[in-house]
Amino acid sequence: MSIRIADLFCGIGGIAEAVHRRPKPTAIGDVSLPSCSQTNQPVIATAIDIDRSVATLYKSHHGITPRCSTIESLDRVSANASEDLEMWWMSPPCQPYTRRGLQLGSKDSRSLALARLIELIPSAEPRFIGLENVPAFEGSKHHQQLTQTLCNAGYQFREYKICPTELGIPMRRKRYYLLAKQSGNPLPDFDPSNSAQPLQNFIDPASWNDAALHVPSDLLQHYQTAMNIIDASSPNAVTACFTSAYGKSPIKSGSYLHCQKQNLVRRFSPNEIAKLMGFRENFFTSSDLGQRSQYRLIGNSLAVHVVHSLLSILFDE
């Protein structure tokens, strides 16, 4: 049986990409394929986002067109009363909770949509719930409301704070995750793997020749000490967290690459960041979105490797 997922605040579909990465069910008698639970195969059944610009890219990679709507205006998550959705995956805007924002939490209008979903949980009772946000979400009023609602509605849940570096990915992006389910065995701890991958594996050599990615010398002179510049050939290089401001703000929005041989500093391309985030190769290549939008969307998205591991915790235990 399929687990039908609602991808809420879908953006470019980090959860859909994690579902895509899962091994396909083993055919009977086929021993060559990796096995996975036949009963809990997740599929993305619906996706919702206020941002119309994600629709074409989402459809081309994940096969469905997201509904364009404000989530706080919905009476229910499903498109109609007969549609059954077993899981809600929620990655609401993090600005109400970030340290760089004003931390207005529930007073920030950008948190209304999450508040609405929390209200809808007791009547909709999805079998599974997942949520991703910045670590500072924990301890916020909405965190308290969500966990209280889950307790009252009889869910068991577990919270995690995970950085992709724990899975060997050379990129920092520590995030808060919550998994909840209505029944079954207690949710286990997250078991990180340690096989570190070098940054080189994620770099596209052709991007060194893309002049649009080169950092102009005047900008470099002005911001060099504040920019996070890493040596592209270092086996221990780890990038900072890429945010939606990458490409717009030169500081605190992600890392830059330095090539000693060419004495060149450049931005990561959107496709390179997407690869670090766990998306398929050349994720943006067929897209007609401008580069600035690509940076914004990938900076807002999910660390797919982490979400993929969390789906295994939820469905394969």
Ligand X SMILES: C[S@@+](CC[C@H](N)C(=O)[O-])C[C@H]1O[C@@H](n2cnc3c(N)ncnc32)[C@H](O)[C@@H]1O
Give contact residues for ligand X (rule: CB under 6 A).
9-14, 48-51, 70-72, 91, 93-94, 110, 113, 300-302
Closest contact distance (angstroms) between CB of 10 and ligand X is 6
Query: Which lies closer to ligand X via its Cβ, residue 9 or residue 202?
Result: 9
Please give the single-letter amino acid code of residue 240. Answer: A
How far, CA to CA in Å, does 235 sit from each of 39, 91, 170, 197, 255? 41, 32, 10, 9, 16
How far, CA to CA in Å, does 290 sit from each of 14, 261, 270, 285? 19, 30, 10, 11
Closest contact distance (angstroms) between CB of 9 and ligand X is 3
Look at residue 155 and give its three-state secondary structure: coil
Cα gap 82→49, rounded to integer Å: 21
Query: Which lies closer to ligand X via its Cβ, residue 50 or residue 259?
Result: 50
Look at residue 279 and give its three-state secondary structure: coil
Closest contact distance (angstroms) between CB of 211 and ligand X is 28
Query: Which lies closer to ligand X via its Cβ, residue 18 or residue 215?
Result: 18
Residue, CB closest to ligand X: 11
Closest contact distance (angstroms) between CB of 38 and ligand X is 27
Look at residue 61 and give its three-state secondary structure: helix
Closest contact distance (angstroms) between CB of 98 and ligand X is 11
- Bridge partners (DSSP) of residue 88 are 6, 129
Query: Which lies closer to ligand X via its Cβ, residue 257 or residue 293?
Result: 293
Query: Which lies closer to ligand X via its Cβ, residue 257 or residue 310?
Result: 310
Closest contact distance (angstroms) between CB of 133 and ligand X is 8
Cα gap 100→115, rounded to integer Å: 22
Around 123, how many Cα atoms within 13 Å sit in the side-chain half-sphere?
Answer: 9
Cα gap 19→306, rounded to integer Å: 12
Query: Which lies closer to ligand X via its Cβ, residue 294 or residue 301?
Result: 301
Tokens of residue 277, six digits: 């985030």
